[in-house]
A and B are shown apart, each in its own frame.
Chain A
Amino acid sequence: MGVLSRMTTVLKAKMNKLVERWEDPRETLEYSYQRQLELLQKVRRNLAEVATSRKRLELQVVRLRETAQRLEAQAREALAAGREDLAVAALQRKAELLQQVEGIERQAGELEAEQKKLETAEARLRAKVEAFRAQKEVIKAQYSAAEAQVRIGEAASGLSEELADVGLAVERAQQKTESMRARAAAIDELVASGALDDRTAIGGTGTGIEAELARLKASEQVKADLERLKQEVGRG
């Protein structure tokens, strides 16, 4: 297994860096308990951060939808006043806003998945910590001192790997949360400055073609909205 073995080597090295290995199981018992508590705390803190970021994105969605409604009302007023050009401009901004909303909703969903993963990881780590405490007592009672030392050492390696893995999960969740926070901040700024039409600058992933397609989609939406409003205004 060439690829997977190579990845294992690198991942284990990375994990070892996150959690130092202990040679003496007697030291391990005291030291690892401290590390376990620290890491559990870190996981909880990170869970809270992920939850906060998610709430923020959800609030942003509500605000953007309100703004979209306001823009539609403005477009209706503009049409009633015979200013189709203003109506088109308002509807364009509305279509762009709604595209942003889609992106944010997708990210909120990803954050939710991340939150669930960390919750599972925390529960698993807690179970392993408990198992380790229980097993070492059994091992001490059943084996000779030398053999007990070896077996406790093995159990400690298993636990230490779990600690490192949760550390890895926390690290990844942090990276994702940070990038989403940056995106949310960028959208806030754009909404505040009213410069929402430069969609491609936000995600940083838009290619020329994607931007063109987005514009096309938006302009179709604008046309449909305009027709609908014209009929409404005509009736009223």
Chain B
Amino acid sequence: MIVRIATEGQYELRGQALDELDSADDALLDAIEAGDEAAFARELAHVLEIVRTRGRRLDDDELEESDLVLPPPDTTLEEARELFRSYPRNLVT
């Protein structure tokens, strides 16, 4: 799976790293739902850390479209909520 950290670059993740990313994703959702700024910053940093350390950084001459695009590392909780607000309503289940 190709994952982009917006404004930073792309990584390729496989196998177990994806499972880790999945559980980090749940923790991130909890933080956003709780409106907990500190927890959000911590969980976003954790998600990005998994991608950076467990993924293979794509070379600058590799041209791939990403399967996942993660928000920029300095995203605030407020911006993250904005990302949810603008999520197309008909796709929310």
A residues with CB within 8 A of B: 1-13, 15, 117, 121, 123-124, 127-128, 130-132, 134-135, 154-159, 161-162, 165, 168-169, 172
Answer yes or no: B15 CB below 8 A from chain A CBs: no
Answer yes or no: B9 CB below 8 A from chain A CBs: yes
- The interface residues of chain B lying within 8 Å CB-to-CB of A8 are 66-70
Pair count A-B, CB < 8 A: 96
- The interface residues of chain B lying within 8 Å CB-to-CB of A165 are 4, 6-7
Interface of A is mostly: helix
Q: Of A7, A117, A131, which contacts B69 at CB under 8 A? A: A7
Look across to chain A and name the residue whose beta carbon is closest to the beta carbon of B71. Answer: A7
- The interface residues of chain B lying within 8 Å CB-to-CB of A156 are 63
Q: Is the CB of A10 within 8 A of B87?
A: yes
Q: Is the CB of A168 within 8 A of B63?
A: no
Q: Is the CB of A10 within 8 A of B68?
A: no
Q: Is the CB of B80 within 8 A of A131?
A: no
Q: Is the CB of A131 within 8 A of B60?
A: yes
Answer yes or no: B78 CB below 8 A from chain A CBs: no
Q: Is the CB of A161 within 8 A of B4?
A: yes
A69 and B8 alpha carbons, distance in the complex (Å)? 42
Question: What are the nearest 5 A-B pairs in CB distance?
Answer: A158-B63, A127-B60, A131-B61, A169-B7, A155-B63
Answer yes or no: B72 CB below 8 A from chain A CBs: yes
Q: Is the CB of A10 within 8 A of B61?
A: no
- The interface residues of chain A lying within 8 Å CB-to-CB of B22 are 1
Q: Of A15, A121, A123, A158, which contacts B64 at CB under 8 A? A: A158
- The interface residues of chain B lying within 8 Å CB-to-CB of A127 are 60-61
B residues with CB within 8 A of A: 4, 6-9, 21-22, 25-26, 28-29, 32, 47, 60-72, 74, 80, 83-84, 86-88, 91
A157 and B4 alpha carbons, distance in the complex (Å)? 14
- The interface residues of chain B lying within 8 Å CB-to-CB of A154 are 63, 65
Decide: A5 near B68, CB < 8 A? Known: A10-B86, A168-B6, A169-B7.
yes
Look across to chain A and name the residue whose beta carbon is closest to the beta carbon of B29. Answer: A3
Look across to chain B and name the residue whose beta carbon is closest to the beta carbon of A126. Answer: B60
Q: Of B28, B32, B63, B80, which contacts A132 at CB under 8 A? A: B63
Q: What 6 new A-B contacts, CB under 8 Å, besides A128-B61, A130-B61? A: A6-B83, A6-B84, A10-B87, A15-B69, A169-B6, A172-B7
- The interface residues of chain A lying within 8 Å CB-to-CB of B4 are 161, 165
A124 and B29 alpha carbons, distance in the complex (Å)? 31
Decide: A4 near B70, CB < 8 A? Known: A9-B88, A11-B83.
yes
Decide: A159 near B63, CB < 8 A? Known: A1-B21, A7-B80.
yes
Q: How far is the CB of A213 from chain B (nearest CB, A)?
A: 20
A4 and B87 alpha carbons, distance in the complex (Å)? 12
Decide: A10 near B83, CB < 8 A? Known: A127-B61, A158-B64, A168-B72.
yes
- The interface residues of chain A lying within 8 Å CB-to-CB of B47 are 4
